[in-house]
Amino acid sequence: MEQDFLTTPARILITGADGQIGYFLNQAAVTDPFFSVVALTDHEFDISDPEQVQRQLDLHMPDYVINTTGFNTVDRAGTQSERCVALNTDGVENLALACGDLSIPLFHLSSDYVFDGHYESGYTEEDQASPLGLYGETKWQGEERLRTALPQHVILRVSWVFSTVGDNYMRRSLQQAREQKCISAVDDRRGCPTSATDIARVIMAMLKQLHNGAENWGTYHYCGAEVTSRYGFTEAVLAAASQYEKLKAEELKPISSSELCSDAERPASSVLVCTKLLNNFGIRQIPWRSELVVMIREQYQNEEFTESV
């Protein structure tokens, strides 16, 4: 039966709906008439349980599954390796196999940490993955399981995600700047911060084109425009936040990553080249700085609201 794309919304099922990307994707998609959304948290839909995956897909029969789950605590991947594998690798395969049985395309998020960080000029989708730690390794294996199980997939690799939701670098550095006179940030790791709302925009734009018949399956990169370091990003966080309050931090000290003792190994330069996304989908990068200004404003608005109730 031919589908009427102009009147029939695309039914999307979002996993990990209360995580950073899941939350903002749900928020944006529910107000867009193009989509009909089922958004499930880990309590409602545990992707590490194959029977539950099957049951939820049979129940909702979406047009697309968007997997925004992940074990993302890079420093704890080694000590919680079972959970990390169960979520980032086996869970992705559970979804891919169940989606395959029902001919549902799977949209999955992966990471710049699949690369070892030696290419200063940036990584394209063609470059060889070579993860440095367990987090990156489990993300890479998850990608590979998906490629093997289900040709109708999108893997979108993103980097350095920030938002007003959950535990992330932006919120942590803001908290540190409120509590400490001197804070430090590493200046020898290069990458591109990306806001969760911007990623939601990109996912929705890709889905619209796929749903309208573009057969652009495969692996893509997306990140905010402008390469920086954690130091450069922290500087921008402090500048934006100081518009709203007098922070305790008087000094931001640049340090090298070797000065952080309990730190997992991370890529030195994990810049993602996003030309393929532009060429295949016409989607452009947005500067992370403008997104950051909006996120910081929202952070203060949310805090004001919480204080007033």
Ligand X SMILES: Cc1cn([C@H]2C[C@H](O)[C@@H](COP(=O)(O)OP(=O)(O)O[C@H]3O[C@@H](C)C(=O)[C@@H](O)[C@H]3O)O2)c(=O)[nH]c1=O
Ligand Y SMILES: NC(=O)C1=CN([C@@H]2O[C@H](COP(=O)(O)OP(=O)(O)OC[C@H]3O[C@@H](n4cnc5c(N)ncnc54)[C@H](OP(=O)(O)O)[C@@H]3O)[C@@H](O)[C@H]2O)C=CC1
Please list the active-site residues. 135
User: What character string, x for contact with ligand X (CB under 6 A) and - otherwise, covers 139-168?
Assistant: --------------------xxx-------
How many Å apart are CA 105 and CA 99, to the nearest integer? 6
Residue 233 makes contact with ligand X by CB under 6 A = no
Window 30-89: residues binding ligand Y (CB under 6 A): 42, 45-48, 68-70, 72, 87
Residue of this chain nearest to ligand X (CB atom): 111
Least spacing, CB of residue 309 vs ligand X, in Å: 29
Report the partner that residue 48 touches, choosing among ligand Y, ligand X, none (CB closer than 5 to 8 A by kind): ligand Y
Beta-carbon contacts of 116 under 8 Å, excluding residues fewer than 6 positions away, are 130, 131, 132, 267
Burial class of 93 by CB neighbour count within 10 A (0 to 12, 13 to 18, 19+) = buried
Q: Check if the beta carbon of residue 271 is closer than 8 Å to that of residue 122.
A: yes
How many Å apart are CA 115 and CA 121, to the nearest integer? 13
Least spacing, CB of residue 39 vs ligand Y, in Å: 11
Window 89-108: residues binding ligand Y (CB under 6 A): 91
Least spacing, CB of residue 75 vs ligand X, in Å: 6
Report the partner that residue 21 touches, choosing among ligand Y, ligand X, none (CB closer than 5 to 8 A by kind): ligand Y
Report the partner that residue 269 touches, choosing among ligand X, ligand Y, none (CB closer than 5 to 8 A by kind): none
Residue 21 makes contact with ligand Y by CB under 6 A = yes
Q: Which of 97, 132, 154, 158 binds ligand Y (CB under 6 A)?
A: 158
Q: Using the 8-state DSSP alphabet, how is residue 123 labeled?
A: B
Window 59-118: residues binding ligand X (CB under 6 A): 72, 74, 111-113
How many Å apart are CA 212 and CA 248, to the nearest integer? 51
Residue corresponding to tokens 């367990």: 134
Task: Tell me the sheet residues that pair with 66.
Answer: 14, 107
What radius of gyration, in Å, describes the C-alpha atoms of the chain? 19
Least spacing, CB of residue 86 vs ligand Y, in Å: 7
Q: Check if the beta carbon of residue 266 is closer than 8 Å to that of residue 137.
A: no
The sign of the torsion formed by the CA atoms of 141, 145, 148, 151 equals negative
- Give me the residues that bind ligand X (CB under 6 A), please: 72, 74, 111-113, 159-161, 169, 184-186, 189, 230, 260, 263, 266
